[in-house]
A and B are shown apart, each in its own frame.
Chain A
Amino acid sequence: MKQRDLVLSIIDLCCDRPEFGRTSLQKVAYFVSQGLHQQLGHKAHFYGPFSEDVEDDVEGLLLAGLIDEKATSLGFQSYGGDAAKKYEYSMTDAGNERVEALRGAYPEEFQSLATFIERLEQAAGGLDQSVLSPAAKTYFIASREHRPVKTSEIRTFGAQLGWNLQRKQVLQVVAVLKTLGLVKQSAPAGTS
Chain B
Amino acid sequence: MGTIEVRDAVHGLIPFGEQVWAVVDTPAYQRLRGVQQLAFTHLVYPGARHSRFEHCLGAAHVAGRLARGAGAVDPDVERIQLAALVHDIGHGPFSHVSEGVFERLTGRREIHESISAAIVCHDPGVSQALGDETAAWIAELLTHKGHARHRSFARDVVSGPADIDKLDYLLRDSHYCGVNYGRYDLDKVVESARQFDDPVASESYLAFHKDAIFALEEMLVARYHMNRQVYAHKTRVGIDQMLQRAMLLAVEENLLPVSVFAPPEEMDEAFVREYLAFDDAQVVKTLCGSADSKSGAVMKALMERRLCKQVFKLDNDAVLAKLNRTVGGFALKPDEQVLETMLAEAEERIAQVVGVDPIWVMLFWEDRKSPLTNRYSPRTQSSDIFLVNDEGQTSLFHDDSEVFRRGDVVTPPYVSLYVRMPDDERPDDAVTGALMDATFIELERIGKASNEV
Contact = CB atoms under 8 A, between A and B. Distances in A.
Nearest to A50: B375
B378 interface: yes
A159 B198 CA distance: 8
Given A59-B333, A64-B329, A162-B151, A156 B384 contact: no
Given A4-B335, A157-B150, A161-B151, A45 B375 contact: yes
Nearest to B381: A46
A63 B333 contact: yes
- Interface residues of B toward A: which range? 35 or more
Contacts of A80: 399-400, 402, 405
B376 A43 contact: yes
Contact of A65 (B202, B329, B375, B399): B329
A102 B410 CA distance: 28
B198 A55 contact: no
Contact of B201 (A63, A79, A102, A159): A159
A160 B406 CA distance: 24
A68 to B, nearest CB: 12
B325 A64 contact: yes
A94 B323 CA distance: 15
B399 A160 contact: no
B450 to A, nearest CB: 9
A50 B406 contact: no
B451 interface: yes
B330 to A, nearest CB: 5
B453 interface: yes
Pairs of residues from A and B, 9 with the lowest C-beta to C-beta distance, nearest first? A64-B329, A159-B201, A160-B150, A63-B329, A52-B376, A60-B333, A65-B325, A159-B200, A160-B201
Interface of B: 149-152, 198, 200-203, 316, 325-326, 328-330, 332-333, 335, 367, 369, 375-378, 381, 383-384, 396, 399-400, 402, 405-406, 410, 413, 451, 453
9 contacts: A52-B375, A60-B330, A63-B329, A64-B330, A65-B326, A82-B405, A157-B201, A159-B200, A160-B151
Interface of A: 2, 4-5, 41, 43-46, 50-52, 55-56, 59-66, 78-80, 82, 94, 98, 101-102, 105, 144, 155-157, 159-162
